[in-house]
Amino acid sequence: MIVRPTDQDWARGYAKQALSDLRAREALVRAGTDKCHRLHFLQMAAEKACKAYLATENGHMNVRKSHAYVKRHLPTMARHFYKVISNNKISQWEISEIRRLAKEIELLAPACDDGDVRKDNAEYPWEDSKGRIQIPCEYEFPGIDDGDRRLVRLVKLIYAASEAYSR
């Protein structure tokens, strides 16, 4: 008899992969690789942490293969973890900052283009509005500065969620 994996099993799977993606991001930063690769692993980690959260809260059946989870669920996850781990209510400006970063991170996935408006992504070349080919490894991704101190809060949140669900 095959025992089907539980929602908790799925959450653990997503969370462990998110942790691995974050470690890969750290290694890529330390190796000084192109920004697209650093952002790609950040996007993947954020997406999987959100899926771990959703598998736990709503059940794995409601987690689809879509990449469009980060913008909507990362701020919710932030509220949840600040309350659970630190017993603190996250401030409005922190949530606003996480919301802004979450939107930009979600758009890094090639499948997420904000209704065909944003073609920039961390993986594949795209044609910009002036008919030029843009290449991720040469693009500056002006909407997200991964050298900004404010990124620490977001990376810690993804670590915290992933670590909690990976147990």
Partner 1 sequence: MKKSKLEAAKSMAKAHSLVEPNLKRVCLIEPLDNDDPNDPIKLLEVVEGTLEMGIEPVAFTADPARGIEYPSIIVEISPDEYQEIRDLGFAKFHRKRVDLLGKKGSVAVAPKHRRALRSNVAREQQRAERRDGWTLGEELLAR
Round to whole Å and give the CA distance between 6 and 4: 6
Does residue 91 belong to the site contacting partner 1 (CB under 8 A)?
yes
Round to whole Å and give the CA distance between 54 and 56: 5
* Candidate residues 58, 59, 62, 85; the one interacting with partner 1 per rule CB under 8 A: 85
Does residue 40 belong to the site contacting partner 1 (CB under 8 A)?
no
Round to whole Å and give the CA distance between 19 and 160: 9
- The answer to whether the beta carbons of residues 136 and 124 sit under 8 Å apart is yes
Residues 124-163 that bind partner 1 (CB under 8 A): 146-153, 155-157, 159-160, 163
Beta strands in 99-152 (DSSP E): 126-127, 133-134
Number of residues that bind partner 1 (CB under 8 A): 31
Q: Which two tokens stand for residue 77?
A: 């996850």
Does residue 56 belong to the site contacting partner 1 (CB under 8 A)?
no
The 11-30 site mask, x for binding partner 1 (CB under 8 A), equals -x---x---------x--xx
167 contacts: CB under 8 Å, gap ≥ 6: 12
Interacting residue ranges for partner 1, rule: CB under 8 A: 12, 16, 26, 29-30, 32, 38, 81-82, 85-86, 88, 90-91, 93, 146-153, 155-157, 159-160, 163, 166-167
